Amino acid sequence: MSSKERPTLGGTRIKTRKRNIAAPLDPAAFADAVVQIYLDNAGDLELIARSLESSDLNFSRYGDTFFEVVFTGGRTQPGTTKPDEGERHPYSVIESEPKRDAILPSVVYIQKILRRRPFLIKNLENVMRRFLQSLELFEDNERKKLAIFTALAFSQKLSGLPPETVFQPLLKDNLVAKGIVLAFITDFFKEYLIDNSLDDLISILKRGKMEDNILEFFPPAKRTPEALSEHFTKEGLLPLVEYNDKKIFEVKLKEMKSALTSQITEEADISEVIETVKQHVKEAKFPDIEVVRILWDVLMDAVQWSGKNQQQNANLALRQVKTWAGLLSNFCTTGKLQLELMYKIQIQCYEDAKLMKLFPEIVRSLYDQDVLAEDTILHWFRKGTNPKGRQTFVKALEPFVKWLEEAEEEEE
């Protein structure tokens, strides 16, 4: 029995699978190369930027290292702000004077680098986040330089640097408790407001989710509106104090409106509602005029408007006025406050179509319930200053005013 040899293919190449061998990381060599460029150009950032542009340095791999060199003059030890081995240069942000004129060139320089290599923004975020979370490792004047740099970075709109990169890392309990964060953020606010408006600052805080949480920058023992006002007033940041006071006022105003709306909707006893008003006024120190405005808004907002026809809506509004007249009279205790109530009614009747024709009836009802005095009504009729719908309302109120004047003459 014969056996056949298996055929073979001559000249066949046997392919072997190639393994992906990653090049070893060498951030130290990269850092040394960048430092040498700084030294070769004697710190001239324009020349340095050009040299970096023409170099074959691997920025995509060593982006974090690059910004370490920019901020500290050399490479830092992993996870810290401490200098690592290797040569350093004296032209870093940390080595500059704690003044805007000395630090601004570094911001402009980084802006140029990011325009050519926008992917580096993530590396900038990484390094800034790490440094801000380690502020206690820097000296006071170094922290001030970082604050000035950060403020200028936002002022110059540094390639979309997100505010949360700055504000959120600061909220470490130990940094806040030591007052380090408050000092940093104060320097940041002062520097930023030199070139920008308060609205711009609030916009940044809002994007950083800190608009309503400024007190979180304060140590727990000083986390009060009074401490905030005292600190920022002393630092010359009065507009920020006024803004925060306004925010607190709005929050307390909302709380008061919510509490009153619930009580009025549930038809609570007037004495309970009056006590609620007094309590909120005492806590928030609301001006008397503001209280009158709030009460009228709450009363009208609590009406369950049917929307079916004008007469039904008129009946609902007048019923509400009559029911809660005692509440209004308790706080409309002077001619000035009564006049403010009339202006408030005038504006709402002008702006709300369903109440447009009700102005004289509401005024008459409040007169009958001893909320509005005759002198107040006559003063509004003769000398009222708010122009909204005034001519229409004056004409509509003429018959009632004429009746008041005739009654006054008869009494005399």
Based on the domain organization, do 41 and 145 belong to the same domain?
Answer: yes
Helix (H) or strand (E) holding 247: helix 238-265
Q: Are residues 210 and 144 in the same domain?
A: yes
Domain boundary among the residues 183, 213, 235 is at: 235
Same domain, 226 and 323: no
Q: Which whole number is the average pLDDT over 168-196? A: 94
pLDDT digits (tens, 9 = 90+) for 335-364: 999 999 999 999 999 998 888 889 999 999
| Whether residue 195 is found in the same domain as residue 270 | no
Q: Are 110 and 161 in contact (CB under 8 A)?
A: no
Mean pLDDT of the region 199-215? 90
pLDDT band (50, 70, 90) for residue 313: confident
Q: Is there a single domain that holds both residue 224 and residue 262?
A: no
Return the number of other C-beta atoms located less than 10 Å from residue 145's C-beta.
24
Q: Which of 163-172, 270-279, 335-344 has the lowest mean pLDDT?
A: 163-172
- The rounded distance, in Å, linking the Cα atoms of 185 and 214 is 10
Average pLDDT of the segment spanning 28-37: 93
Contact status, residue 126 vs residue 167, Cβ threshold 8 Å: no
pTM: 0.74
Domain boundary among the residues 235, 262, 289 is at 235
**Does the residue 7 lie in any domain?**
no
Residue 16 in domain:
no
pLDDT score of 19 more than 70:
no
How does pLDDT run across 358-401, given as a tens digit for each residue? 999 999 999 999 999 999 999 999 998 899 999 999 999 999 99
What integer is the mean pLDDT of 318-332? Answer: 95
Query: Considering 201, 235, 269, which residue would you say is the last residue of a domain?
Result: 235
Distances 224 to 177, 183, 227, 231, 387 between C-alpha atoms, Å: 14, 17, 5, 11, 42
> Is the same domain home to 272 and 366?
yes
Same-domain check for residues 48 and 78: yes
Residue 7 pLDDT > 70, yes or no? no
* 1 compared with 332, residue with greater pLDDT: 332
Same domain, 217 and 275: no
Task: State the total domains in the chain.
Answer: 2
Q: What's the Cα-to-Cα distance from 172 to each of 86, 130, 132, rounded to whole Å?
A: 31, 12, 10
- Which amino acid, 58? N
Rounded to 5 degrees, φ, ψ at 83 are -60, 140
Instruction: Over range 301-306, report the average pLDDT.
Output: 84
pLDDT surpassing 50 at residue 281: yes
Q: Which residue has the higher pLDDT, 404 or 371?
A: 371
Supply the pLDDT for residue 411: 63
Residue 84 binned pLDDT confidence (cut-offs 50, 70, 90): low
Q: Which domain holds residue 153?
A: 27-235
Summarize the confidence of residues 61-72 as an average pLDDT: 94
Residue at 8 is within a domain: no
